[in-house]
Amino acid sequence: MYYPLINRQIIWENLHIYLFLIILLIVLTLFIYIKLKYPFWNILPVYHTYDFCRSTFYRQPFIIYKKAIPNKFCDLLSISTMNYHDCSDKYKKNFVNLLQCYYIQSENTNFLFHLENLETYMDSHLSSSYISFYEIHEYSDIDSTITNKTLGCISSRSSNLIITNSDVVFETPIYYIDFICMHRDAPILYTRKLLQTHIYKQQLDNDKIMGSIFKKEGSQYSGIVPFIISSSSIFDIPVYFHKDDLKLPEQFVFIHFHKGNINILFDFLNRTTSKFSVVCITDQPNILKMIECNILFCYGIKQFDEIYAVYFFRDLRTQYEEVSLSGCLLQLSGSINNSTSDDLFYKGFQKSIQTIVKKMNVFKLLMIEDIGSNRTLYDKIGGIPLLSIESTYYLYNIVVPCSPFYGSQSLIIL
């Protein structure tokens, strides 16, 4: 058998070419793998899990694109986007109807959302709010007519993002993408198009806010680095919190924040946000709007002129109808412990729940999201939750190289 001789001199002289071809083959293989593995996220301006350059050489947060850039997931024909305050009641009611039908996928859970609730979330912002609809055209063979059918909707409203990394503070206005809703039978491609097209049109209309934040409940997305990793636990209110009226230690006062004293809350937030690595809070006028409309409940503990604790509760407009999980849901969205006593902090938390239940005797379940100082309260309860849900926040068009953060490092009020 003939064995060809290997000319080592030729190989050595062309070694750089062989190395180049090997590296090129590896790069092409990785490129094809990423394109096939992450067909949606790989073309979006997000912090990808394979962004080794950004994770290695960058330290401070930055905005990726300074202007809106379309891609193949922009569907300008099927998706219409409008400024919320320019919408007629017809569009707003259609938005609410879609949320009631499809926002929560479980058959045993009701989303008790109404037009006034939508107005509360979308109103009183410092920048325009937006909503989008995904529509398809259906042809009828019976009468040869074409009708429009709305399959999904999405919204965005302005807020403020502050990231403290070492001694550097990154602060920017940002849009919170919320109420992402699609018909149960629609393919995932429709939801992807809805998200991308909405953000693209939103950026075109308001180029002063180029970043967005959105939340996913359940398992994490593949191919994109989480911004904040958190979880939520649901407890039975009658079991843990229906007790005798609690009294705080002497000289401590339990307060309810409202229009008359809201500046005390805002001043406290401005002074204490440095306690967290990440702060993302809706515009202050919107906080007051949600308080006035009983969507957001804010309480605190005060001694003289000093605030020692603040609690943010939200009516999620959600009702469970299962044997092991039944009743309307109240959420502890965030809290700030400014005291050295966990017992004092916990008593204020219990007092807050009792006050809310007395005011609105509909809540049977409490969801505690692991945000802010909530972990201290969760540990104090000590019981086994009825349900635990993983939740993750992601950024669009903003890269934070030191991501992910954990809920206990963050304060999120949206």
CATH code for the domain in which residue 180 is found: 3.40.630.30
Q: Do 171 and 308 belong to one domain?
A: no
- Residue 259 domain-assigned (yes or no): yes
For residue 361, the one-letter residue type is N
Count CB atoms within 10 A of the CB of residue 55: 16
Query: Which DSSP helix (H) or strand (E) runs through 44?
Result: none
Q: Do 219 and 278 belong to one domain?
A: no
- Residue 20 domain-assigned (yes or no): no
Q: What SS3 class is residue 189?
A: helix
For residue 122, the one-letter residue type is M
In tens digits, the chain (414 residues) has pLDDT values of: 555 656 666 667 677 777 888 888 888 888 787 888 889 999 999 999 998 888 778 888 999 999 999 999 999 999 999 999 999 999 999 999 999 999 998 888 999 999 999 999 999 999 999 999 999 887 666 666 677 889 999 999 999 999 987 678 899 999 999 999 999 999 999 999 999 999 999 999 999 999 999 999 999 999 999 999 999 999 998 877 766 677 888 889 999 999 999 999 999 999 988 899 999 999 999 999 999 999 999 999 999 889 999 999 999 999 998 867 888 999 999 999 999 999 999 999 999 999 999 888 899 999 999 999 999 999 999 888 999 999 999 999 999 998 999 999 999 999
Total of domains in the chain: 2
Q: Do 114 and 240 belong to one domain?
A: no
- Measured CA to CA, the distance from residue 117 to residue 95 in angstroms comes to 12
Name the domain boundary from 203, 226, 249.
226
Return the structure tokens found at 111. Answer: 């989303």
- Residue 6 domain-assigned (yes or no): no
Domain span at residue 71 reads: 64-226
Name the domain boundary from 226, 246, 266.
226
The candidate with the shortest Cα–Cα distance to 287, out of 176, 128, 159, 135, is 159
Whose tokens are 């997305």? That residue is: 221
Q: Do 181 and 134 belong to one domain?
A: yes
Is the peptide bond prior to 226 cis by the omega test (within 30 degrees of 0)?
Answer: no
- Residue 239 domain-assigned (yes or no): yes
pTM for this predicted structure: 0.92
User: How far is it between the farthest Cα atoms of the chain?
Assistant: 100
Query: What are the φ and ψ backbone dihedral angles of 258, each rounded to 5 degrees?
Result: -150, -170
Name the domain boundary from 226, 247, 275.
226
List all residues 6 or more positions away from 59 whose beta carbon is below 8 Å from its beta carbon.
165, 401, 402
List all residues 6 or more positions away from 179 whose beta carbon is below 8 Å from its beta carbon.
95, 99, 103, 153, 154, 155
Is the peptide bond prior to 4 cis by the omega test (within 30 degrees of 0)?
Answer: no
